[in-house]
Amino acid sequence: MSPSAIAILRVQAFSGRAGALGIHLGQLLEQVRQQPGCQSGELQALDADHWQLQTHWSSQAELEAHLSGPKAQQWLGQLGWSDLALGLAFESRSVD
C-alpha cells in the first residue's frame, strides 16, 4: 500500500482582503474535498493576513493526479491572478 500524502498551501492576502480570501479558500476547500483521493482538509488563519489550507490524500499518486489536473490548475491560477492573494507557497509530502 502506498503512503498517504499531505498538501499544504499558505496564502498571504493583500492588505484589507484577508476576510474575502478566507471565504474564497473555504469555497475552494469544499471543492477539493470532492476530488478523488482527498480524505480531509482544513483551513486556518495563521495571522491577520495569512491562511493555510491543508489537505490529506490517500496516496501521493492521487495528490499528484489532482495537482496536474485542470481543476487544480484553474484554482491555483485564480488565486495567482486575483486581487485577494499577494503570495502563495505550496508544499507536499508523503506520510508513512
Task: Determine the average pLDDT of the residues in 6-31.
Answer: 94
The confidence score (pLDDT) of residue 81 equals 76
pLDDT tens figures, 39-65: 999 999 999 999 999 999 999 999 999
pLDDT of residue 58: 96
Helix (H, G, I), strand (E, B) or coil at 29: helix
Contact 19, 92 (CB under 8 A): no
pLDDT for position 2: 67
Q: Which residues make beta-bridge pairs with 85?
A: 13
Domains held by the chain: number: 1
Cell of 63: 495528490
State residue 72's pLDDT score: 87
CB 72 within 8 A of CB 9: no
* Packing angle of the helix pair 60-68, 70-80 (nearest 10 deg): 60
Domain interval for residue 62: 4-95
CATH number of the domain within which 20 lies: 3.30.70.100
